[in-house]
């Protein structure tokens, strides 16, 4: 392992941290074995390799460049995790693991490629933002650690909600916004109310005072984690499962090898695969 980056609001116990590192990189190794077996390797190409990404303005341009290379235009991304995998970054979904605490996500790199591990017990809009944040850690060149987290937040917001799209949704520079307006943007673009407001302020579309009032309202109403409007989209990384199902259905590999690649038992894998049609 040559790269590891956590994003968590509180330190993880050392035992949990080491377990996550091991699980993420072990999953990456199994995924790469399956790709090579089927001849379906996707080599990740960094769209902003060689770019300077050390200011907010440069980060905005980096996000625009990624959207251009990945043919996203200004449209919402329906499944961000699937988008990552279709462009060569593996996604490891973590569920039902003890000791996660405030852990959101991490990015790791081995000799073969990159994996982003995500706490799937979070709301889908938070999962999307974390995944985009971790992508920034992978592709952007930061000058030291001081501004890294802030710039990764800006990148995540810019990638999920491009400036022209937010300007169109808000119609004009605003002095007041309704909850309905913010909710409509959240449901469409899969980005939290709080991230929308911080992005609008960073782009000069609302005043800092307006953002401060909003943050105070969020704390007063207990909306920090559970916001009053939910994003209904589904975030799911399915490429590994798709490749494994294909390999089994076409009898390229047997159940014993498939179970080993899936990191499970033959009985459990058979149950997950279901009836062969």
Q: Check: CATH 1.20.58.220 for 3-161? A: no
DSSP string, 100-114: -TTEEEEEEE-SS-E
Yes or no: say if 22 and 108 are a contact pair by the CB < 8 Å rule: no
Better-scored residue on pLDDT, 3 or 13: 13
Name the percent of the chain lying above pLDDT 90: 75
pLDDT tens track for 67-116: 999 999 999 999 999 999 999 999 999 987 776 777 888 888 877 789 99
Better-scored residue on pLDDT, 260 or 173: 260
- Judge residue 275's burial from the number of C-beta atoms within 10 Å of its C-beta, 0-12 exposed, 13-18 middle, 19 or more buried: exposed
* Distance of alpha carbon 237 from alpha carbon 89, whole angstroms: 11
Yes or no: say if 171 and 104 are a contact pair by the CB < 8 Å rule: no
Q: State the Cα angle at 50 between 49 and 53, rounded to 5°.
A: 90
CA atoms 150, 97, 25, 77: torsion sign = negative
**Of all helices (H) and strands (E), which one includes residue 118?**
strand 114-119
State the pLDDT at residue 72.
97
* Distance of alpha carbon 11 from alpha carbon 201, whole angstroms: 29
* In the predicted structure, residue 150 carries a pLDDT above the cut 90: yes
* In the predicted structure, residue 4 carries a pLDDT above the cut 80: no
Contacts of 87 (CB under 8 A, 6+ apart): 42, 44, 45, 70
pTM value? Answer: 0.92
CA 19, chain centre distance (Å) = 20
What does the domain layout of the chain look like in residue ranges?
Answer: 3-161, 239-273
């Amino acid at each position: 392992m040559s790269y590891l980056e956590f994003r968590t609001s509180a330190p993880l116990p050392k035992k949990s941290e080491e377990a996550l590192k091991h699980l993420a990189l072990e999953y990456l190794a199994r995924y790469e074995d399956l790709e090579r077996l089927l001849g379906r390797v996707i080599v990740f190409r960094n769209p902003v390799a060689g770019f300077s990404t050390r200011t907010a303005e440069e980060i905005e341009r980096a996000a625009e460049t990624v959207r251009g290379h990945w043919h996203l235009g200004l449209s919402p991304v329906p499944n961000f995790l699937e988008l990552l995998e279709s462009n060569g970054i593996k996604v490891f979904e973590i569920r039902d693991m003890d000791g996660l605490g405030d852990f959101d996500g991490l990015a790791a790199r081995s000799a073969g490629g990159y994996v982003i591990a995500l706490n799937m017990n979070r709301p889908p809009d938070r999962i999307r933002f974390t995944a985009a944040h971790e992508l920034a850690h992978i592709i952007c060149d930061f000058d030291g650690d001081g501004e890294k987290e802030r710039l990764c937040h800006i990148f995540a917001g810019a990638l999920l909600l491009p400036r022209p799209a937010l300007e169109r949704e808000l119609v004009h520079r605003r002095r007041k916004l309704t909850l309905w307006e913010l909710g409509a943007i959240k449901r469409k673009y899969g980005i939290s109310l709080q991230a929308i407001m911080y992005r609008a302020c960073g782009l000069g579309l609302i005043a800092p005072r307006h953002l401060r009032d909003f943050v105070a309202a969020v704390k007063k109403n207990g909306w920090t984690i559970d916001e009053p409007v939910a994003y209904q989209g589904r975030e799911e990384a399915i490429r590994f499962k798709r490749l494994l199902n294909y390999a089994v259905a076409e009898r390229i590999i047997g159940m014993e090898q498939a179970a080993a690649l899936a990191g499970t038992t033959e009985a459990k894998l058979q149950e997950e695969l279901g009836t062969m049609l």
